[in-house]
Amino acid sequence: MIRSFLKDTDFSRSEAAEVFDLAYRYKTMRSAGIIDVLRGESWGLIFFKKSTRTRLSFEAGVYELGGHPMVMNASDLQLSRGETIEDTAKIMGRFLHGLVIRTFGQDIVEDFAKYSGIPVVNALTDLLHPCQSYADMFTIMERFGGGIPNVESLKGRKLVFYGDTACNMAYSLALAGSMFGMNVVLCGPEEFKPAPVLDSLFAEAHLPSNYTFCSDPEAAARGADVLYTDVWVSMGKEEEKAERIKIMSPYQVNEKLFSLTAENSIFMHCLPAHAGEEVSEDVLRGPRSIVFDQAENRLHVQKAILSTLVSKNRQAAKM
């Protein structure tokens, strides 16, 4: 069976640790040039949503692994004229060696994986953002593990996510953080609390849910090692902007919240950020912020994810 990376829990804890070790090697040896992991392979990068970091990191990553990245806007494909995902996936499986997809419903990446016969990587859905959460775990390890990714450095660390806690980023951080023993707090208004689907994801992965929901921003910040936030208005929800800003304003990450955190605490954001809304300008641009380290690490971690998938699928094919 071809393995894909559609959810944060599709790698076991030990496999994820291997991904982080490989990402560290890729990061430190990047100047050495092309690695032939994907030599002779063509990978499709399908975008149903606009993208900056995801497109740049995956396109560069496939190239740096020796492969040929083929970037496709979903609106340019026959999908936009009614061709089914099943038929599209079967055709792509005949032409390509793998797919990276940034889209809306989780069912879309699952259907591509089901029908294509090639590995599929979830580059973001409305449900989960596993490549980002893995890059975030790697970045936290760098900061608290002395520059070297050691999963034990995550154990017991407190991460607080502020804002819409029923979003893909909150869910992926809860899953990935729990895998490595972090204490994840999802903090936001009651009307934006996590949906039951999050607990279903934990149950499906046989993973104890090590997250809590809190509606008090100051209580959540106390003793935190990481304060994390995302935009309050996601793509496709622009018509809700005024109401969301009004409801979310008490959950802005600012210096007042950081005054309650642990020593050496850090600020994280998956970007793009709207300074003055979900985060104050001084925090976003201040010394606690490691948002650009996060963004860079998308490249290294995603290269490691692709390499690990290819390696495990090749090993399975030989058995």
Catalogue the active-site residues: 102, 129, 132, 230, 270, 298
Dihedral sign for Cα atoms in the order 3, 73, 134, 171: negative
Render 132-168 in DSSP notation, one character per residue.
Answer: HHHHHHHHHHHHHTTTS--GGGGTT-EEEEES-TTSH
DSSP H helical segments within the chain, as ranges?
13-28, 53-64, 85-95, 106-116, 130-144, 168-179, 196-204, 217-221, 241-248, 255-258, 281-284, 291-318
User: Exposed (0-12), middle (13-18) or buried (19+): which is 21, by Cβ within 10 Å?
Assistant: middle
- Our measurement of the distance from residue 12's CA atom to the centroid of its chain's CA atoms, rounded to an integer in Å, reads 16
For 100, phi then psi, to 5°, come to -120, 125
Dihedral sign for Cα atoms in the order 168, 174, 176, 179: negative
Q: Are 182 and 245 in contact (CB under 8 A)?
A: no
Question: Which of 305, 298, 263 has its CA nearest to residue 139?
Answer: 298
CA distance 252 to 156: 24
Dihedral sign for Cα atoms in the order 126, 132, 133, 136: negative
For residue 272, whether the previous peptide bond is cis, meaning omega lies within 30 degrees of 0, is yes
